[in-house]
Amino acid sequence: MHILVTGGCGFIGSNLIRMLRRARPTWKLVNLDALTYAGNVENVKDVGEDEHCAFVHGNVANAALVAGLFARYDFASVLHLAAESHVDRSIVGPQLFVETNICGTHTLLEAVRAHANVRFIQVSTDEVYGSAASGQCFTEATPLQPTNPYAASKAAADLLALAYQRTYGLDIVVTRCTNNFGPYQFPEKLIPLMCINALEDKQLPIYGDGAQERDWLHVEDHCSALLAILERGKSGSTYNIGTGQTCTNLTIATRILAHLGKPDSLIRHISDRPGHDRRYALDSARLRSELGWMPRYGLGDALTKTIDWYVENRGWWERVLSGAYRTAPANEFPSRA
Protein backbone atom coordinates (compact mmCIF):
# COMPACT_ATOMS: atom_id res chain seq x y z
CA MET A 1 0.00 0.00 0.00
CA HIS A 2 1.42 3.41 -0.99
CA ILE A 3 0.97 6.45 1.22
CA LEU A 4 1.75 9.96 0.03
CA VAL A 5 3.36 12.08 2.75
CA THR A 6 3.72 15.74 1.75
CA GLY A 7 6.30 17.86 3.54
CA GLY A 8 8.22 14.81 4.75
CA CYS A 9 11.53 16.70 4.85
CA GLY A 10 10.21 19.26 7.35
CA PHE A 11 10.11 19.05 11.12
CA ILE A 12 6.92 17.07 11.75
CA GLY A 13 6.98 15.25 8.40
CA SER A 14 10.46 13.83 8.99
CA ASN A 15 9.53 12.64 12.49
CA LEU A 16 6.35 11.12 11.03
CA ILE A 17 8.22 9.23 8.31
CA ARG A 18 10.69 7.89 10.89
CA MET A 19 7.82 6.74 13.10
CA LEU A 20 5.83 5.16 10.23
CA ARG A 21 8.88 3.22 9.01
CA ARG A 22 9.17 1.76 12.53
CA ALA A 23 5.48 1.22 13.26
CA ARG A 24 4.26 0.12 9.80
CA PRO A 25 7.34 -1.35 8.06
CA THR A 26 5.37 -2.86 5.17
CA TRP A 27 3.88 0.47 4.05
CA LYS A 28 5.40 2.18 1.04
CA LEU A 29 5.87 5.89 1.61
CA VAL A 30 6.27 8.53 -1.07
CA ASN A 31 7.64 11.79 0.35
CA LEU A 32 6.76 14.81 -1.80
CA ASP A 33 8.64 17.90 -0.67
CA ALA A 34 9.68 21.14 -2.36
CA LEU A 35 12.76 21.50 -0.10
CA THR A 36 12.03 25.09 0.85
CA TYR A 37 14.22 26.78 3.47
CA ALA A 38 12.40 24.63 6.08
CA GLY A 39 12.88 21.23 4.46
CA ASN A 40 16.05 19.27 4.02
CA VAL A 41 16.82 15.70 3.08
CA GLU A 42 19.21 15.23 5.99
CA ASN A 43 16.14 15.18 8.25
CA VAL A 44 15.24 11.75 6.85
CA LYS A 45 18.73 10.54 5.94
CA ASP A 46 18.68 7.84 8.62
CA VAL A 47 15.50 6.38 7.09
CA GLY A 48 17.19 5.96 3.70
CA GLU A 49 15.60 5.60 0.28
CA ASP A 50 14.35 2.22 -0.94
CA GLU A 51 11.12 0.68 -2.22
CA HIS A 52 9.53 1.50 1.16
CA CYS A 53 10.46 5.16 1.09
CA ALA A 54 10.77 7.21 -2.09
CA PHE A 55 11.57 10.91 -2.23
CA VAL A 56 10.09 13.22 -4.87
CA HIS A 57 11.36 16.81 -5.07
CA GLY A 58 8.40 18.91 -6.09
CA ASN A 59 5.67 21.36 -5.26
CA VAL A 60 2.26 20.24 -3.99
CA ALA A 61 0.66 23.01 -6.04
CA ASN A 62 2.07 21.61 -9.28
CA ALA A 63 -1.05 19.92 -10.69
CA ALA A 64 0.79 18.03 -13.43
CA LEU A 65 3.36 16.63 -11.02
CA VAL A 66 0.70 15.62 -8.49
CA ALA A 67 -1.48 14.00 -11.19
CA GLY A 68 1.57 12.10 -12.43
CA LEU A 69 2.29 10.77 -8.94
CA PHE A 70 -1.32 9.65 -8.50
CA ALA A 71 -1.14 7.88 -11.88
CA ARG A 72 2.13 6.16 -10.99
CA TYR A 73 1.31 5.08 -7.43
CA ASP A 74 -1.94 3.55 -6.27
CA PHE A 75 -2.19 5.75 -3.15
CA ALA A 76 -4.38 4.44 -0.34
CA SER A 77 -3.97 7.69 1.57
CA VAL A 78 -2.39 11.11 1.75
CA LEU A 79 -0.93 12.65 4.90
CA HIS A 80 -0.78 16.30 3.91
CA LEU A 81 1.78 18.22 5.96
CA ALA A 82 3.53 20.38 3.35
CA ALA A 83 3.00 24.02 4.25
CA GLU A 84 4.54 27.35 4.91
CA SER A 85 4.39 27.10 8.67
CA HIS A 86 5.85 30.18 10.36
CA VAL A 87 3.55 32.97 11.55
CA ASP A 88 6.23 35.68 11.44
CA ARG A 89 7.03 34.90 7.79
CA SER A 90 3.31 35.01 6.95
CA ILE A 91 3.12 38.52 8.38
CA VAL A 92 6.05 39.67 6.23
CA GLY A 93 4.95 37.84 3.04
CA PRO A 94 1.51 36.23 2.99
CA GLN A 95 1.40 35.34 -0.72
CA LEU A 96 3.41 32.14 -0.49
CA PHE A 97 1.11 31.02 2.33
CA VAL A 98 -1.89 31.41 0.04
CA GLU A 99 -0.11 29.59 -2.78
CA THR A 100 1.22 26.64 -0.79
CA ASN A 101 -1.31 26.26 2.00
CA ILE A 102 -4.49 27.00 0.06
CA CYS A 103 -3.69 26.36 -3.62
CA GLY A 104 -1.39 23.43 -2.80
CA THR A 105 -4.08 21.77 -0.68
CA HIS A 106 -6.62 22.39 -3.43
CA THR A 107 -4.35 20.71 -5.99
CA LEU A 108 -4.07 17.62 -3.82
CA LEU A 109 -7.82 17.55 -3.18
CA GLU A 110 -8.45 17.62 -6.93
CA ALA A 111 -6.14 14.61 -7.35
CA VAL A 112 -7.99 12.78 -4.58
CA ARG A 113 -11.31 13.62 -6.25
CA ALA A 114 -10.07 12.06 -9.49
CA HIS A 115 -9.18 8.75 -7.80
CA ALA A 116 -11.49 6.43 -5.90
CA ASN A 117 -10.89 5.40 -2.30
CA VAL A 118 -8.04 7.65 -1.27
CA ARG A 119 -8.11 8.76 2.37
CA PHE A 120 -6.90 12.37 2.82
CA ILE A 121 -5.63 13.68 6.15
CA GLN A 122 -5.41 17.47 6.28
CA VAL A 123 -2.82 18.21 8.98
CA SER A 124 -3.78 21.54 10.49
CA THR A 125 -3.33 23.71 13.53
CA ASP A 126 -5.15 25.04 16.58
CA GLU A 127 -4.27 28.53 15.33
CA VAL A 128 -7.36 28.41 13.12
CA TYR A 129 -9.47 29.00 16.27
CA GLY A 130 -7.72 32.29 17.08
CA SER A 131 -6.82 33.33 20.61
CA ALA A 132 -8.38 31.50 23.60
CA ALA A 133 -9.74 33.38 26.58
CA SER A 134 -8.27 32.60 29.99
CA GLY A 135 -9.51 29.14 31.07
CA GLN A 136 -11.01 28.39 27.62
CA CYS A 137 -10.10 25.20 25.76
CA PHE A 138 -11.00 25.01 22.07
CA THR A 139 -13.16 22.08 21.01
CA GLU A 140 -13.72 21.00 17.41
CA ALA A 141 -17.01 22.96 17.51
CA THR A 142 -15.30 26.27 18.35
CA PRO A 143 -15.85 28.74 15.47
CA LEU A 144 -12.80 29.51 13.35
CA GLN A 145 -11.34 32.97 14.00
CA PRO A 146 -7.82 32.97 12.56
CA THR A 147 -5.94 36.18 13.27
CA ASN A 148 -2.77 36.00 11.15
CA PRO A 149 -2.18 35.08 7.48
CA TYR A 150 -0.69 31.66 8.33
CA ALA A 151 -3.69 30.69 10.46
CA ALA A 152 -6.12 32.08 7.86
CA SER A 153 -4.47 30.07 5.08
CA LYS A 154 -4.71 26.88 7.15
CA ALA A 155 -8.36 27.59 8.02
CA ALA A 156 -9.15 28.11 4.33
CA ALA A 157 -7.50 24.80 3.46
CA ASP A 158 -9.39 23.00 6.25
CA LEU A 159 -12.69 24.36 4.98
CA LEU A 160 -11.89 23.33 1.41
CA ALA A 161 -11.01 19.83 2.61
CA LEU A 162 -14.25 19.51 4.60
CA ALA A 163 -16.26 20.92 1.67
CA TYR A 164 -14.73 18.28 -0.64
CA GLN A 165 -15.67 15.59 1.86
CA ARG A 166 -19.30 16.75 1.99
CA THR A 167 -19.78 17.67 -1.65
CA TYR A 168 -17.99 14.80 -3.33
CA GLY A 169 -18.34 12.15 -0.61
CA LEU A 170 -14.56 11.81 -0.26
CA ASP A 171 -12.79 10.20 2.68
CA ILE A 172 -11.25 13.23 4.38
CA VAL A 173 -10.31 14.01 7.98
CA VAL A 174 -8.92 17.26 9.43
CA THR A 175 -6.50 17.30 12.37
CA ARG A 176 -5.70 20.37 14.45
CA CYS A 177 -2.65 20.20 16.65
CA THR A 178 -1.10 22.54 19.17
CA ASN A 179 2.50 23.80 19.11
CA ASN A 180 4.96 20.96 18.53
CA PHE A 181 8.54 20.69 19.72
CA GLY A 182 11.27 18.08 19.37
CA PRO A 183 14.22 17.20 17.13
CA TYR A 184 14.70 18.66 13.62
CA GLN A 185 12.56 21.77 14.18
CA PHE A 186 13.74 24.67 12.06
CA PRO A 187 15.46 27.20 14.35
CA GLU A 188 13.00 30.02 13.76
CA LYS A 189 10.35 28.56 16.07
CA LEU A 190 10.45 29.43 19.77
CA ILE A 191 12.04 26.36 21.35
CA PRO A 192 14.91 25.61 18.94
CA LEU A 193 15.64 29.33 18.53
CA MET A 194 15.89 29.80 22.30
CA CYS A 195 18.08 26.68 22.71
CA ILE A 196 20.50 27.77 20.00
CA ASN A 197 20.71 31.39 21.11
CA ALA A 198 21.35 30.28 24.68
CA LEU A 199 24.07 27.86 23.54
CA GLU A 200 25.69 30.72 21.62
CA ASP A 201 25.32 33.17 24.56
CA LYS A 202 23.09 35.34 22.37
CA GLN A 203 19.99 37.18 23.57
CA LEU A 204 16.67 35.34 23.68
CA PRO A 205 14.08 37.60 21.97
CA ILE A 206 10.75 37.43 23.79
CA TYR A 207 7.84 39.12 22.08
CA GLY A 208 6.06 41.59 24.39
CA ASP A 209 5.69 40.52 28.01
CA GLY A 210 6.24 36.81 27.26
CA ALA A 211 3.08 35.84 29.14
CA GLN A 212 1.50 34.38 26.00
CA GLU A 213 0.53 30.74 26.54
CA ARG A 214 0.93 27.76 24.24
CA ASP A 215 -0.16 24.12 24.69
CA TRP A 216 3.14 22.35 23.87
CA LEU A 217 3.10 18.79 22.48
CA HIS A 218 6.10 16.61 21.73
CA VAL A 219 6.26 15.85 18.00
CA GLU A 220 6.19 12.07 18.56
CA ASP A 221 2.83 12.45 20.32
CA HIS A 222 1.55 14.37 17.30
CA CYS A 223 2.80 11.55 15.04
CA SER A 224 1.10 8.83 17.09
CA ALA A 225 -2.16 10.81 16.90
CA LEU A 226 -1.83 11.12 13.11
CA LEU A 227 -1.35 7.36 12.78
CA ALA A 228 -4.43 6.66 14.92
CA ILE A 229 -6.47 9.15 12.88
CA LEU A 230 -5.21 7.78 9.57
CA GLU A 231 -6.19 4.25 10.56
CA ARG A 232 -9.35 4.83 12.56
CA GLY A 233 -10.51 8.45 12.29
CA LYS A 234 -14.04 9.08 11.04
CA SER A 235 -14.37 10.65 7.60
CA GLY A 236 -15.70 14.21 7.79
CA SER A 237 -14.50 14.61 11.36
CA THR A 238 -12.03 17.07 12.81
CA TYR A 239 -9.74 15.93 15.64
CA ASN A 240 -7.97 18.31 18.01
CA ILE A 241 -4.56 17.09 19.21
CA GLY A 242 -3.13 18.63 22.37
CA THR A 243 -2.36 18.21 26.04
CA GLY A 244 -4.79 20.78 27.48
CA GLN A 245 -1.88 22.14 29.60
CA THR A 246 -0.41 25.53 28.78
CA CYS A 247 2.89 27.18 29.53
CA THR A 248 4.05 30.77 28.99
CA ASN A 249 6.80 31.66 26.55
CA LEU A 250 8.80 33.20 29.38
CA THR A 251 8.63 29.94 31.35
CA ILE A 252 9.90 28.02 28.32
CA ALA A 253 12.80 30.44 27.93
CA THR A 254 13.79 30.35 31.60
CA ARG A 255 13.62 26.53 31.69
CA ILE A 256 15.93 26.34 28.67
CA LEU A 257 18.39 28.75 30.27
CA ALA A 258 18.30 26.84 33.57
CA HIS A 259 18.93 23.49 31.87
CA LEU A 260 21.88 24.93 29.95
CA GLY A 261 23.27 26.75 33.00
CA LYS A 262 22.89 30.17 31.36
CA PRO A 263 21.74 33.40 33.08
CA ASP A 264 18.19 34.79 32.82
CA SER A 265 19.83 38.09 31.83
CA LEU A 266 20.04 36.69 28.27
CA ILE A 267 16.26 37.22 27.96
CA ARG A 268 15.41 40.36 26.01
CA HIS A 269 11.85 41.61 25.69
CA ILE A 270 11.30 43.01 22.19
CA SER A 271 8.31 44.48 20.31
CA ASP A 272 5.31 42.22 20.21
CA ARG A 273 4.28 40.30 17.07
CA PRO A 274 1.43 42.15 15.28
CA GLY A 275 -1.92 40.51 16.07
CA HIS A 276 -0.18 38.11 18.48
CA ASP A 277 -2.55 35.44 19.79
CA ARG A 278 -2.37 35.53 23.57
CA ARG A 279 -3.29 31.96 24.33
CA TYR A 280 -3.85 28.58 22.66
CA ALA A 281 -5.34 25.63 24.56
CA LEU A 282 -6.98 22.56 23.08
CA ASP A 283 -9.56 20.07 24.25
CA SER A 284 -8.71 16.75 22.60
CA ALA A 285 -11.40 14.67 24.35
CA ARG A 286 -12.76 13.42 21.00
CA LEU A 287 -9.41 11.94 19.98
CA ARG A 288 -8.91 10.41 23.42
CA SER A 289 -12.37 8.87 23.76
CA GLU A 290 -12.97 7.79 20.13
CA LEU A 291 -9.48 6.61 19.25
CA GLY A 292 -7.88 6.01 22.66
CA TRP A 293 -4.97 8.39 21.99
CA MET A 294 -2.91 9.69 24.93
CA PRO A 295 0.26 11.81 24.88
CA ARG A 296 3.29 9.83 26.12
CA TYR A 297 5.45 12.83 26.99
CA GLY A 298 5.10 15.46 29.71
CA LEU A 299 6.51 18.91 28.99
CA GLY A 300 9.26 18.77 31.64
CA ASP A 301 11.13 15.64 30.53
CA ALA A 302 10.42 16.12 26.84
CA LEU A 303 11.73 19.70 26.93
CA THR A 304 14.94 18.56 28.62
CA LYS A 305 15.36 15.77 26.07
CA THR A 306 14.78 18.25 23.25
CA ILE A 307 17.28 20.78 24.61
CA ASP A 308 19.84 17.96 24.83
CA TRP A 309 19.12 17.04 21.18
CA TYR A 310 20.06 20.57 20.07
CA VAL A 311 23.19 20.41 22.25
CA GLU A 312 24.19 17.09 20.67
CA ASN A 313 23.26 18.02 17.10
CA ARG A 314 25.12 21.30 16.67
CA GLY A 315 26.30 20.18 13.20
CA TRP A 316 22.67 19.86 12.04
CA TRP A 317 21.57 23.34 13.08
CA GLU A 318 24.82 24.97 12.01
CA ARG A 319 24.29 23.57 8.50
CA VAL A 320 20.63 24.63 8.55
CA LEU A 321 21.50 28.16 9.65
CA SER A 322 24.31 28.48 7.11
CA GLY A 323 21.74 27.79 4.37
CA ALA A 324 23.55 24.62 3.34
CA TYR A 325 20.24 23.01 2.38
CA ARG A 326 18.79 25.86 0.36
CA THR A 327 18.02 23.78 -2.72
CA ALA A 328 14.40 24.78 -3.21
CA PRO A 329 13.19 26.97 -6.00
CA ALA A 330 12.42 24.13 -8.40
CA ASN A 331 8.97 25.65 -8.48
CA GLU A 332 6.75 27.88 -10.39
CA PHE A 333 5.23 30.33 -7.95
CA PRO A 334 5.31 33.90 -9.25
CA SER A 335 6.03 35.21 -5.75
CA ARG A 336 9.32 33.34 -5.76
CA ALA A 337 10.44 34.66 -9.14
Q: With binding defined as CB under 6 A, does residue 177 bind ligand NAD?
A: yes
Identify the burial level of 117 via C-beta atoms within 10 angstroms of its C-beta, where 0-12 means exposed, 13-18 middle and 19 or more buried.
exposed
- In angstroms and rounded to an integer, the radius of gyration of the C-alpha atoms of the chain is 19
Amino acid residing at 301: D
CA distances from 304 to 101, 179, 196 (A): 32, 17, 14
Residue 149 contacts which entry, ligand NAD, ligand TYD, none (Cβ below 5-8 A, type-dependent): none
- The interface mask with ligand NAD, positions 116-135, x = CB under 6 A, is -------x-x----------
Any bridge partners for residue 120, and if so which? Answer: 78, 172
Please check whether residue 148 is in contact with residue 87, taking contact to mean a CB–CB distance below 8 angstroms: yes
Interacting residue with ligand NAD among 18, 33, 210, 239 (CB under 6 A) = 33
- Residue 262 or 316 having the CB closest to ligand NAD: 316
**Active-site residue, 188 included:** no
- Residue 221 or 266 having the CB closest to ligand NAD: 221
Q: With binding defined as CB under 6 A, does residue 34 bind ligand NAD?
A: yes
Cβ 206 to ligand TYD shortest distance, Å:
5
Interacting residue with ligand TYD among 249, 284, 306, 331 (CB under 6 A) = 249
Residue nearest to ligand NAD (CB): 10
Q: With binding defined as CB under 6 A, does residue 179 bind ligand TYD?
A: yes
Q: Binders of ligand TYD among 210-229, rule CB under 6 A?
A: 212, 214
Cβ 53 to ligand TYD shortest distance, Å:
28
Residue 122 contacts which entry, ligand TYD, ligand NAD, none (Cβ below 5-8 A, type-dependent): none
**Active-site residue, 126 included:** yes
Selected catalytic residue, list 33, 99, 129, 150: 150
Residue numbers of the site for ligand NAD (CB under 6 A)?
A: 6-7, 9-13, 32-36, 38-39, 59-61, 81-85, 100, 104, 123, 125, 154, 177, 179-180, 186
Which residues are tagged catalytic?
A: 126-127, 150
